[in-house]
Amino acid sequence: MEKVNPDIFRAYDIRGLYPREINAKVVYKIAQAYVKLFKPKEIVLGRDVRISSPELSKAAEKGFIDAGVDVIDIGVVTTDMLYFAVAYYKYPGGMVITGSHNPKEYNGIKIVKEKAAPVSAGSGIEELRDSVVSNYKFRAKNPGNVESKDVKSDYIKHILSFIDKEKIKPYKIVVNPNFGAGGEIIEKIGKKLNQNLIKINFEPDGNFPVPEGRPDPLIPKNAGKISQKIKETEADFGVSWDSDADRCYFLDETGKLESGYYTAALLAKYLLSDNGGKVIHEPRLTWAIIDYVKKAGGEPVVSKAGHAHIKKAMRKNEAIFGGEMSGHFYFKDNFYCDNGMIPFLKVLELMSISGKKLSELYQPLHDNYKISGEINFEIKDSNKLLLEFKEKYSDAKISELDGVSVEYDNWRANLRASNTEPLVRLNVEARDKKILDEKVEEIKGIIEKYE
């Protein structure tokens, strides 16, 4: 009897090394446990481009059909296409085999219930873990059936409904789907909107043959490659996605990689200009989003970081938009789910309507909101660190919604333990660069004692 490492069950998904931690036997058990917990009659199943994903997808399929559940196989997809398929066609649940932005030796699973509501910490992942670890198995008298379904055309029609196609101007755009499943969708969008796409890392390849071996838009070498191509081709801007295409980052015409925080503020303001309403943001960096939302007549609502928390807050508040600095952007009209293609389309529309370069749209954010960028530390005892951090700045306005946030009139900082990696993450923002630099060094001095 194979032992399952319970640590593969994370706060927001399931993730581990293949085949040591994630393999066909483990995935079979996870599918069986899903049926025990949620009792669906049918389920949507998709997978990313990883070399190990076909085997793991077959194992999930067998786990479901053995339990008497019909499987709707949507094939190789982006993660947000799985969300779309479950919510749009009103299926009771779904599962996508994906290692997201991790190196090729990893794989994992993202799981949803009906309406594409996430299965995560506090909403079923612990129960799934316990069933899998206990080696739960079930074989129904009547096995389920498998049906293949192509969701691409409906998905593309859906995401294009977020813009006025007639207003889109032609641009030269460097696009990098990081060898994932997003390339086909990006190409079809580009053709429909008459865009000149300059492709990098475009063909699906589960080996992810980038120099760093990790399909992550934030890796400096990766961003540097796009930046160089923008300059070489005199492109108007660049866009980069992680390999499952649910995160989206922009680079302006000078090749500068823009923060997801600034993009969230920009999109919030633009969406509110049409609709009004509430916008969900996280506590790591807040001032730009709060200011932009209020100026546009909206209401900012803070939530813990992470897609499960943001989606819950989106639904509770019926918010029109939510954004994280991690490059996840959520839309009410996308079933309250995150999507990596809609931000690309909305920025394209904003540029077309405003007539501004991308750098001009971001410049006020750079001018008025100085940020450190996320700084990561490997820490032995994060609890003691957070306690000292809170005591050091005890005269600040303090929030413990997600880690510890301290706020003064001219600067604020958030220090939190990662939910996905053994790291503590620091983010600082300030009214001017001098204060920002001083406070980053000051807080680093506290943190370094615990490394």
Helices (H), 234-370: 260-275, 287-295, 307-317, 342-354, 358-368
Given CA atoms 252, 256, 261, 262 in this order, what sign does their dihedral have? negative
Q: Give the active site residue among 100, 131, 240, 243.
A: 100
For the chain, give the number of residues: 451
Phi–psi pair at 50, nearest 5 degrees: -60, 150
Crossing angle (nearest 10°) for helices 24-38 and 53-66? 40
Complete DSSP assignment for 53-81: HHHHHHHHHHHHHHTT-EEEEEEE--HHH
CA–CA dist 406, 132 (Å, integer): 40
Phi–psi pair at 347, nearest 5 degrees: -65, -40
Is 240 part of the annotated catalytic residue set?
no
Given CA atoms 158, 162, 166, 172 in this order, what sign does their dihedral have? negative
Helix (H) or strand (E) holding 323: strand 321-323
First to last CA, the chain: 39
Helix (H) or strand (E) holding 197: strand 196-199
Please give the positions annotated as active site: 100
